[in-house]
Amino acid sequence: MPWIQVKIDIHPAQIDSIEELLLTSGACAVTMEDGKDQPIYEPERGTTPLWKHTQLTGLFDAAADMQSIIPKIEARYQALSGSPLPAHRVEILEDKDWERAWMDNFHPMQFGTRLWICPSWREPEDPNGINLMLDPGLAFGTGTHPTTALCLAWLDAQDLKDKVVVDYGCGSGILGIAALLLGAKRVIGVDNDPQALEASRENTRRNNIEEDRFEIYLPGEAPDIEADVMIANILAQPLISLSPTLANMTKKDGLLVLSGILEQQASDVSECYSEWFEMNPPEQKEEWIRLSGSKR
């Protein structure tokens, strides 16, 4: 079953109130983990000490409308505490999301005919292939999730030579870096998570790509641009609300690729973008859909 997770960076004193808000807002489960690598040694009997910097994760069904749920959580927390909800982010749960636990099982993977995604700690299986060396850190995007795999396979099939690409919701940078390795001239990456921006920068260096070829921005800070290719692998509701923005950032006859969409959400997203784009039939992998089109 596909899932969405909400990650919130909190102080231990905030746990009870935020955990309750997540559960009453539809979270199926809430977990806590160390946010800053702080060891806890031999706690006193009967106590449950928590880390000074704790990351609280709420797990939601992937069909949940997070664009309406998150503002309600923010408003209720503001009313209860008198302060804003701490820093948080919403992302698709990858197939292997336990922190670093997938490393032993993350093998080089081929997408299409040319492109390979290779863990940075392993040797490429095809030295003559286009090998993207990846360490996603805490950001979304390893290629193991169907939404990312669908986008990588699409990129491999395109002629990207000298193209300008926007990767909206860049996460680990996997799609933007793949586009550069496949011939793109320039990529603009956008993400609202500072950890994602750092992961994108580090993976750009790891693949020996000049940093000025992969420009990385927070939303609202990206330059005015008309891209040859617009890629957005996020979620259905944000894709719908961002449709005018993504359309304005795509040039006439430019290509559009959207993912992070469940099968039952695809028609709504496609109908929304059809105002600006000639949409192609959807492509599916497991429960997830990739939409593509070209701007009129």
Give pLDDT tens digits for 164-216: 999 999 988 999 999 999 999 999 999 988 888 888 999 899 899 998 999 99
Name the pTM for this structure.
0.74
Return the pLDDT at 214: 97
Judge whether 257 and 230 are in contact, CB under 8 Å.
yes
Residue of 213, 214, 228 whose CA lies nearest to 172? 214
DSSP character for 173? S
Return the pLDDT at 84: 92
My answer on whether 40 and 107 are in the same domain is: no
Give the C-alpha separation, 106 to 99, whole Å.
13
Reply yes or no on whether the pLDDT at 101 is more than 90.
no
My answer on whether 226 and 256 are in the same domain is: yes
148 annotated as ligand-binding: yes
How crowded is residue 289: how many other Cβ atoms within 10 Å of its Cβ?
Answer: 25
Q: What is the tally of structural domains in the chain? A: 2
- Does residue 278 form part of some domain? yes
DSSP character for 116? E
My answer on whether 67 and 121 are in the same domain is: no
- Does residue 255 form part of some domain? yes
Adjacent-strand bridge partners of 188: 166, 215
191 annotated as ligand-binding: yes
What average pLDDT does this structure show over 23-32? 90
Return the pLDDT at 1: 61
- Written as one letter, the residue type at 173 is G
113 annotated as ligand-binding: no
233 annotated as ligand-binding: yes
Sheet holding 115-119, edge to edge: 109-111, 115-119, 130-134
My answer on whether 155 and 84 are in the same domain is: no
At 44, is the pLDDT very low, low, confident or very high (cuts 50, 70, 90)?
very low
At 104, is the pLDDT very low, low, confident or very high (cuts 50, 70, 90)?
low
My answer on whether 279 and 213 are in the same domain is: yes
Question: Rounded mean pLDDT of the chain?
Answer: 86
My answer on whether 115 and 55 are in the same domain is: no
My answer on whether 119 and 40 are in the same domain is: no
Enclosing H/E stretch for 153: helix 146-156
My answer on whether 138 and 269 are in the same domain is: yes
Domain that holds residue 231: 103-295
Return the pLDDT at 39: 44
My answer on whether 81 and 143 are in the same domain is: no
What average pLDDT does this structure show over 226-240? 95
Residues sharing a CB contact under 8 Å with residue 163, sequence separation 6 or more, in sequence order? 179, 183, 184, 185, 228, 229
What average pLDDT does this structure show over 98-106? 50
Domain boundary among 62, 92, 122: 92
Return the pLDDT at 34: 74
Q: Are strands 277-279 and 288-295 parallel, antiparallel or unpaired?
A: antiparallel
CA 196 and chain centroid, separation: 8
Backbone angles phi, psi at 181, to 5 degrees: -65, -25
At 295, is the pLDDT very low, low, confident or very high (cuts 50, 70, 90)?
very high
- Dump strand ranges (E) for 86-173: 88-92, 109-111, 115-119, 130-134, 164-168
CATH (domain of 44) = 3.30.70.120
Domain boundary among 65, 92, 119: 92
Angle at 200 between CA 197 and CA 204, to 5 degrees: 140
My answer on whether 20 and 59 are in the same domain is: yes
Describe the crossing of helices 146-156 and 174-181 by its angle, rounded to 10 degrees.
10
At 241, is the pLDDT very low, low, confident or very high (cuts 50, 70, 90)?
very high
Judge whether 106 and 144 are in contact, CB under 8 Å.
yes
- Does residue 197 form part of some domain? yes
My answer on whether 81 and 221 are in the same domain is: no
CATH (domain of 231) = 3.40.50.150
- Does residue 97 form part of some domain? no
Give the C-alpha separation, 140 to 134, whole Å.
12
Q: How many residues does the chain have?
A: 296
